[in-house]
Structure 1
Amino acid sequence: MFQTPKYLTRGIQCTLPAWLVILLWNLIDCIPNEQRDYLQVFRLTRIGTGQHIAHSQEQPPYSYEMKVPCNDAVNAKIFVIDDQTHSTMLLAEEY
């Protein structure tokens, strides 16, 4: 199966720990291609025990939430845009 190249903006590289970037890509990969929207949204919230992740897309409607224990949690809104030639992960403020 062909997978589009994945890119990170400088904001992502400077803000998110590497393990979290890998986890976000994996969460997207869990959605079958034919059910995956071009725009994925992640709302990341620092909580007492670590990281809360809320993942969603508009069409078809999809949402998933999880908590990950960690010491390097962040607060951020992340977009992943797939234009069928490549996927780019960026902070919402970089859009």
Structure 2
Amino acid sequence: MFDNKENRYITKGVNEQVQKEIQLYCWDLIDQKRSGAETELDYLQIFEFNPDNQRQAIEVIHRQEEPFFIDYHTYTIKGKMPDFQIKKLWVIDDRSHQTMLLPEDY
């Protein structure tokens, strides 16, 4: 899964509610995990976010169900901390394309 980087899409909800830099960071985490080949990637990648206003950062939890893995990352915000309300983001690979969406977009 996640072999093809050409057909990547985002839903309207992601476009309106998730900053571009966070979107790109999540795609990059998937690409890093894929190139590391330590774990086979599932069709569903899950990202959870915990903003930390004091540190000007967002804790990003990247996980999948089968085979299970969970990684913790810290994304440092450059400049003003955005009003970040998103708690969870999904990326689904159906082999022909990959879609980044909010759970409520499903």
Pair 1:88-2:84 in alignment: no
TM-score, length-normalised on structure 1?
0.88
1:76, distance to aligned residue in structure 2 (A) = 2.2
Distance in 1 separating the partners of 2:97 and 2:76: 31
SS at match of 1:22: helix
AA of the residue aligned to 2:88: K
**Percent identity over paired residues:** 30
Equivalence map 1:1-95=2 (5 Å)? 3-4=4-5, 5-32=7-34, 35-48=40-53, 49=55, 50-70=57-77, 71-72=81-82, 74=84, 75-95=86-106
Aligned length: 94
1:83, distance to aligned residue in structure 2 (A) = 0.4
1:73, distance to aligned residue in structure 2 (A) = 5.8
> Post-superposition, which runs of at least 4 consecutive aligned residues in structure 1 deviate over 6 A?
none
1:69, distance to aligned residue in structure 2 (A) = 1.9
1:86, distance to aligned residue in structure 2 (A) = 0.3
TM-score, length-normalised on structure 2?
0.80
Segments of structure 2 that go 5 or more residues without pairing to the other structure are: none
Higher strand share: 1
SS at match of 2:33: coil
Distance in 2 separating the partners of 1:56 and 1:44: 12
Q: What CA RMSD, in Å, does the superposition of the two structures yield over aligned residues?
A: 1.7
Segments of structure 1 that go 5 or more residues without pairing to the other structure are: none
Greater Cα radius of gyration, structure 1 or 2: 2
Distance in 2 separating the partners of 1:59 and 1:45: 23
